[in-house]
Chain A
Amino acid sequence: MSTTSIFITGVGGQGIILASELLSDVGIRAGFDVKKSEVHGMAQRGGSVVSSVKFGEKVFSPLISPGEADVLLAFEPLEAMRTLHYAKPDGKIVVNLRYVMPATVASGAANYPENVFDKIKAEVPDVVVVDGVSLAKQAGTVKAINVVLLGALSNFLPFSEKDWHTAIENRVPKKYLEQNIKAFQLGRKTA
């Protein structure tokens, strides 16, 4: 099979790295070659963060170039807009509903774009909007937004629900496990 590429984008502190770790774990569990890439350091202090996960029989480059992502998983709508061109034109977008205001907007120096979701759909029609905050709260912890979004993403990937559960069990501390499994299932049902 050819390589499947998942481009993850959002804001530092939203749990993007853990999400990409989980996704990679599931890929390995399913027997694929997996590569993932992201940037640490200065970029993570509340700035835009991206992570790439690729799996297939043999993966060479760990990076995803514009037009190569099968799925764009966006934790924040503005960050989805910023990276839309990374998706294949017939690719999918899974995007979190909640805005996170950049410092430039908060200070009044810039405006958050209007009609974000319409603009996203104009570029890549196949869009799933997930109310990550509400679903994570419903699961018992607002911190599980990342796992809710993975649940939504899971509908478009060739991995079994069992493999996902095992991956979550291996990464999430026991006392938060139940909430995270619930978060995953709620996410999976929305898409």
Chain B
Amino acid sequence: MSEKVLLSGNEAIARGAYEAGVHFASAYPGTPSTEILENVAKHYSDVIKCQWSTNEKVAVEVAIGASFGGARTLVTMKHVGVNVAADPLFTLSETGVNGGFVIVSADDPGMHSSQNEQDNRRYAKFAKMALVEPSDSNEAKEFVDYAMSLSEKFDIPVMMRIGTRIAHSKSIVGIGTRKDIPIKDYIPDIPKRVVIPANARVLHKKLEERLAELKEFANSSPLNKIERGDWTRDGKKIGIITSGISYQYAKEVFPDASILKLGSSFPFPDKLAKTFCDSVDEIWIIEENEPFLEEELKLAGLGDKITIGKNKIPICGELNQQIIRESILGEKSRTPNIDLSELPARPPVLCPGCPHRGLFYIAQKMKLHGTTDIGCYTLGVIPPLNQGETCICMGASIGVAFGIGIAQGKEVGKKFLSYIGDSTFLHSGMTELANLVYNKGNGVVCIMDNSTTAMTGHQPHPGTGRTITGEATFKVDYAEIAKALGIKKIVQTNAYDLKEIEEALKETTSIDEPAVIINRGRCILLDWKKLDITPFRVDTEKCTGCGLCLKVGCPSLSKDPDTGKAVIDELLCAGNHCTICAQVCPFDAIVPAE
């Protein structure tokens, strides 16, 4: 018997890539997908070449090349990353693959760490890729090899769609061995891989033929299973159709019902679905977010028996067993007797010692406006810093600020800041900056350079001078980029020096041309364990209780309810490595604890 271990879905997919003989893997970090590539790099980089690409589109394009070059290839990203990567994906379905090509889309139902909850099963259909949906870690591992084989057999990219509860839930996985898959030859094939219209017209027809074959194949796929049960309601035999994590929720509530579990859900296995529908009296479709299976069933002409679908199960939010019980059976869950809305909220906050805090504090003090972007610094919007009035998607801060300036005039535009992290700037900020200069905009682009991709757990990027495996590589110079794109006013600031930041902001917001501030400070968590920290304390003789220090929004600072004076939690405080609150205090009341 194989060894059994507890793995997250992400760890299992990394293992699956290893066992499936994958040769290359690429990604841009994004919750909940990040740990897939981290685990590939950590455990299997001796046999799987891997890279953090600068963005998801780049990751897919390098992966396409690797597939054309004959390698089994895995590319992973969060759901909104697929928006960035959509362009090459739609064409890859036409050209087809050489080595197997699998893209993992890690969706985030419930938006635990995302800006929307788009259901990327729709992308598989839209881009005409095959779709597989594992329902636990073991399937996540096993499906990688299945998807690779499917991709090679039908000459098509395959999307593996998971969600947060597959990616970050752990369940038991049986460990296997690595398949020996040789890298195929690279043979140029211009009619197949150069999508000029004359070729693309032929390729589209061929793609439709392959999809028809895939549909037939899905009817007998081992991933699509009927589990026979004898559960009835009001004398009627109930048949549940479900996929992915929703299967687990359905099974928990209706363990004895007949279930059609779809692991290979697009192209939709219509004949298998008909067999299933014919064997029961009512069809219940239990799926999270969009009515994907429901629509497919209706399109197959099998919608007559559906009594429960999105008429009962909500489109919004994450599904769970309780929502199923409540929406189908009318069973109420335990509700709190306390009014939860009266409890003080505990939103995520910038860490003690965070290098983003100082600039946000000064911008807030100077009453400047700003747009923000995707990363830890998005947390600057939370009071008391209140920095960032829009947040749309990766890289959008610069374009949106520019647009506000166009609408409201140059005087408004020049005092508008765009907050963008170093990794986000490299992901999609450079084209924005070129556009700003080219089209004669103004405003201040603040590159919040903390030398890492912090929010997703500290991945290196081209600005860090390190690759995914820790190898030294070229380190991007943001000032040189800004200069080359045409920015004349470039100011580099120490993220922990409030005076320097204030001067930089005064200078850059008073000119009539675009400016860039590169605000440098390493993410405090990168070094936390090795830092020799002397925390700060409040000298209660000097503290007047003015409350100014509380405006920096540091979790280690609070107001003593008895004295009204500030107190510092020395366990949390980054002290001598931060000093922001001490710089803010007009009475020199914040001093080293020793």
List residues of A whose CB falls within 8 A of some B CB: 11-12, 24-25, 28, 33-48, 59-63, 65-68, 78-79, 81-82, 84-86, 89, 101-113, 119, 122-123, 142
Residues of B within 8 A of A81 (CB): 338, 343
Residue of B nearest to A53 (CB): B170
Instruction: Please name the residue on chain A nearest to B336 by beta carbon.
Output: A85
Please name all residues of chain B whose beta carbon is closer than 8 Å to the beta carbon of A103 when the two chains form the complex. Answer: 346-347, 349, 382, 553, 555
Are B335 and A66 in contact (CB-based, < 8 A)?
yes
Residues of B with C-beta under 8 A to A101: 558
User: Closest residue to B337 on the A side, CB-wise?
Assistant: A123
B295 within 8 A of A: no
Contact with A along B133-170 (1 / 0, CB 8 A): 00010000000000000000000000000001100111
Report 11 cross-chain contacts, Cβ distance below 8 Å, ordered by A residue. A33-B172, A37-B169, A40-B31, A42-B112, A62-B171, A66-B322, A78-B346, A84-B338, A103-B555, A107-B559, A109-B383
- Residue interface mask B340-377, A partner, CB < 8 A = 1: 10111111111100000000000000000000000010
Q: Does B333 contact A39, Cβ atoms closer than 8 Å?
A: no
> For residue B252, which residues in chain A have a CB less than 8 angstroms away from its CB?
60-61
A67, A85, A104: the one within 8 Å of B345 (CB): A104
Q: How far is the CB of B393 from chain A (nearest CB, A)?
A: 15
Contact of B379 with A by CB under 8 A: yes
Q: How many chain B residues touch A (Cβ–Cβ < 8 Å)?
A: 59
Which residues of B are found within 8 Å of A122, using beta-carbon distances?
A: 337
- Verify B344–A66 contact, CB threshold 8 A: no
Complex: A60 Cα to B249 Cα, angstroms: 7
Taking CB atoms, residues of chain A closer than 8 Å to B164 are 39
| B557 lies within 8 A of A106 (CB) | yes
Within 8 Å CB of A109, what residues of B? 344, 383
In the bound complex, residues from chain B placing their C-beta under 8 Å from that of A40 are 31-32, 34-35, 113, 168, 457
Q: B383 to A63, Cβ gap below 8 A?
A: no
Pairwise interchain contact A41-B31, C-beta atoms closer than 8 A: yes
B320 close to chain A: CB less than 8 A:
yes
Give, as a whole number of angstroms, the nearest-CB distance from A84 to chain B: 6
Question: Is B430 on the interface with A (CB-CB < 8 A)?
Answer: no
Nearest CB of A to B378, in Å: 8
Given A25-B6, A84-B336, A119-B338, residue A102 in contact with residue B320 (CB < 8 A): no
Contacting residues, chain B, for A39 (C-beta < 8 A):
32, 112-113, 164, 168
- Which residues on the A side are within 8 Å of B457 (C-beta)? 40
B333 touches A66 (CB 8 A): yes
B343 near A82 with CB under 8 A, answer yes
Q: How far is the CA of A101 from the CA of B346 in the complex (A)?
A: 9
